Amino acid sequence: MRHLVILGRLSILGSALAVGCGGGMAADDVAGDAYTESYNCATETRADTFSVGLEKAGLTGALDFKLMTADPAPPARGDNTWVIQVNAMANSVVGAPVTGLETGMTITPYMPDHQHGTPIDVVITPMPDAGQYQLSPVNLWMPGLWQTTISVNANGSKDHVVYSFCLSS
């Protein structure tokens, strides 16, 4: 009997968490995986339009970031691998590739609507081409809007950029 009470409480807690973090998912929508619901990305206005080569100036204007590849493309639920190009910028003009940033770069996937990130750290690996870095895994573990912040504070370079992608399922 005691086991049934504990299991019942865990089931209620699991359903409550799924509703709280599922963007309006009803408890009866949980079918083994609490995060199988979908998200209507057609109405999402905060997301970037994905394209290989999506380029963004850093928010301080010191660096330029370019999404060279994404696997899968477009980004999808689960583990993603991105390759980014980081170049110096001066007066809004893109300059030379910036190397040696892997120890001063952080990648932070975050769901603003749910106010949580992911428990999996992103590993940053320099690529053979100057200024390119592989980011893996970029773990986007549930449907919804993900904002992935790439922050750099190394070798005299300090800047950050946010890539926002919506995952419908």
Helix, strand, coil percent values for the chain (each to nearest 5)? 15, 45, 40
Which H helix or E strand runs over 12? Answer: helix 2-21
- pLDDT of 29 strictly over 70: no
State the pTM of this model. Answer: 0.80
pLDDT band at 35 (very low <50, low <70, confident <90, very high): low
What the block records as the tokens of 28 is 């009866």
Distance CA 39, CA 66 (A): 27
Residue 91, exposed/middle/buried by CB under 10 A (0-12, 13-18, 19+)? exposed
All residues at 6 or more sequence positions from 115 whose CB lies less than 8 Å from its CB, including other chains = none
d(CA 60, CA 121): 25
Domains (ranges, CATH) in the chain?
1-37 (no CATH), 42-167 (2.60.40.10)
Whether the pLDDT of residue 19 is over 70: the answer is no
